[in-house]
Amino acid sequence: MKPIRKAVFPVAGLGTRFLPATKAIPKEMLPIVDRPLIQYAVDEAREAGIEQMIFVTGRGKSAIEDHFDIAFELEKTMAERGKSLEVLEPTRLGPGNCAYVRQQEPLGLGHAIWCARAIVGDEPFAIFLPDEFMVGSPGCMKQMVEAYNRLGGNLISVLEVPRETVSSYGVIAPGARDGDITEVTGLVEKPKVEDAPSNLIISGRYILQPEVMRTLENQEKGAGEEIQLTDAMARMIGTQPFHAVTFAGKRYDCGSKVGYVQANLAIALARDDMGEEIRAFALDLLAN
């Protein structure tokens, strides 16, 4: 069983829900307090032992590449002023640890993953959707890699949500359940509430075998007239082991404005350097 060494980050989206903020800044670079969303995802990947980060980008996304590069002028100035460079250490990805590939047309998540096929090669790999902001200890992907080392095959992260909200997500049809591990017998993208097979939604983290690339090769457009990763995974069920890991942690949908504000507030409250002040401010705000 090959280890999970590579991760794909599909970051070519336009971020239209956050305009005008995302007119010139990729949505993945929007900060949660003082770290961009993409940095949190990369840190989660590193914690899980992943070595190579593959970014599927589009036009206007050069800020992501700049973020993970060495900023010589900035670092030189900081060093001359006696400031620590430790805060920049997580932003450094060497040439062997990252790769960038373009998604030239907005044809959906499945197509974005397929664009990374040459770099992924014949290895199992992880997928991170950075605007699905996952907070836990250990992180979501580390929990999944630990499950993968026991089970192999394909794994997806899931969360339980109120049934009336399932039509906004990909939903699993569950089989046998063992603690936080659930067998996946089917997948449905954005079903009607009355047709949903469960209230367990796919939550933006995946470990997939390389065969998914060959499935995506001939994948027809699905929901939203896009090439859906969920449809490709559904076609693989029954040919390979497929399980879901219920994430033991918090998830914030930072693709929405409400989820983004919630994530900032939650992280700020949890920080030692500002949590007390933010809590006092929030209580005062709510009282007036």
Domain CATH number, residue 116: 3.90.550.10
Within a domain: 247 = yes
- Note whether 270 and 227 are same-domain residues: no
- Note whether 43 and 173 are same-domain residues: yes
Number of domains the chain contains: 2
At 177-200, the pLDDT tens digits run 988 999 999 888 888 888 889 989
At 116-130, the pLDDT tens digits run 999 999 999 999 999
- Note whether 69 and 179 are same-domain residues: yes
Peptide bond into 20 cis (omega under 30): yes
Within a domain: 264 = yes
At 140-169, the pLDDT tens digits run 999 999 999 999 999 999 998 898 888 888
Within a domain: 1 = no
- Note whether 136 and 262 are same-domain residues: no
- Note whether 283 and 162 are same-domain residues: no
**Region 98-113 average pLDDT:** 89
Closest CA relative to residue 223, chosen from 275, 148, 169, 159: 169
Peptide bond into 197 cis (omega under 30): no
- Boundaries of domain holding 125: 6-255
d(CA 80, CA 72): 12
Within a domain: 88 = yes
- Note whether 130 and 244 are same-domain residues: yes
Within a domain: 273 = yes
* pTM (whole model) above 0.75: yes
**Region 206-219 average pLDDT:** 88
Within a domain: 121 = yes
d(CA 254, CA 101): 24
- Note whether 284 and 170 are same-domain residues: no
- Note whether 156 and 284 are same-domain residues: no
